[in-house]
Amino acid sequence: MGRLQETCGAVSGAYLVIGLKYGQEKEKTYAMVQEFARRFEAKNKTTNCRALLGIDLLGGDRRTASERVNSICPQMVQDAVEILESLL
């Protein structure tokens, strides 16, 4: 979000979906978010955008950054969707 490269946007989106579905049940929401993160990290080693991309979007070369985003982010979205589908 905002090219700050903290939590991956696909992960953030998944957390939002979990919150929308289970938000009235706080402990269930926490457990689901934690399980999602565990599964995403098991598959991708981290939920951190900068680590996933391996490049600084703010200080790096724009062309290289764009290429990395276009090659890596679609897979992160796919992984997030697949994990969500298995959890929900």
Model pLDDT for residues 8-31, shown as the tens digit of each residue: 999 999 999 999 999 999 999 999
- What pLDDT, on a 0 to 100 scale, did the predictor assign at position 3? 78
- pTM of the predicted model as reported, rounded to 2 decimal places: 0.92
d(CA 49, CA 34): 17
For the chain, count helices (H), then strands (E).
4, 0
Model pLDDT for residues 29-66, shown as the tens digit of each residue: 999 999 999 999 999 999 999 999 999 888 877 888 88
